[in-house]
Amino acid sequence: MSFERFTADNATMLLIDHQVGTMSWVQSISQEEMKRNALMLAKTAKILNMPVVFTSSMEEHAQGPLMEELAQELPQAFAERIKRLGIVNAMDDENFARATKAPGRKKIIIAGVTNDVCTVYPALTLVSEGYDVQVVADAGGSPSKMGDEMALRRMEKAGVVLTSTNQLIAELVGSWATPEGTQIVQEVIMPALESHSS
């Protein structure tokens, strides 16, 4: 298999259902770690000026609103988020599918809550449509470790590349010596490491 790096110029980031209610159902990873990783992705996308699509499902119900910290990082993308009415596979929502494809990029980064419901189906759909997909496994989770593992195995078998938050950020940056790389180290990586160790 050939390797073509995901960059800020060739990839779109999808952040799916990072809602306060839905996140509380996750048991396979700590809430704190999952939230920190999702925010690291949003901050990185902001610094690199990447296209980001947010979506949520049934915010007025048990799922709750998207994390308000995401609005602070990417206010425009947050305001333009696709609100789904219970559609499980976000790619079955015409507005989300349109927003995902609008930047015209064949490389898609997905982080979603939960991996076993919200993430798996859009990832499988996009791979079947010929997109290169990376799923950031630790910026989401599932209600059980077994459920999470089954979803990740299913995606990987279908051709999704599984990655972690730090691994993806390093791939996108390419060089820490660039102005953006330096900014990401100072504003994204170091604060996350410090919060992790405290």
120-135 residue pLDDT tens: 999 999 999 999 999 9
Query: How remote is the C-alpha of 198 from its chain's centroid?
Result: 25
* pLDDT category of residue 3 using cuts at 50, 70 and 90: confident
User: Does residue 114 have a cis bond before it (omega within 30 degrees)?
Assistant: yes
Task: Let me know if 133 is exposed, middle or buried by CB neighbors in 10 A (0-12, 13-18, 19+).
Answer: buried
Q: For residue 161, what pLDDT is reported? A: 98
Q: Catalytic residue at 121? A: no
Closest C-alpha among 127, 64, 118, 59 to residue 93: 118
The single residue of 41, 111, 118, 160 carrying the catalytic annotation is 118
Mean pLDDT of the chain: 94
Percentage of the chain beyond pLDDT 90 is 85
What phi and psi values does residue 24 have, to the nearest 5 degrees?
-70, -15
Q: For residue 149, what pLDDT is reported? A: 98
37-93 residue pLDDT tens: 999 999 999 999 999 999 999 888 888 888 999 999 999 999 999 999 989 999 999
Q: Does 1 have pLDDT greater than 90?
A: no
- Residue range 168-180: mean pLDDT, rounded: 97
CB atoms within 10 A of CB 117: 20
CA quadruple 85, 119, 160, 34: dihedral sign: positive
Q: Which residue has the tokens 């559609």?
A: 87
- Is the CB of residue 116 less than 8 Å from the CB of residue 147? yes
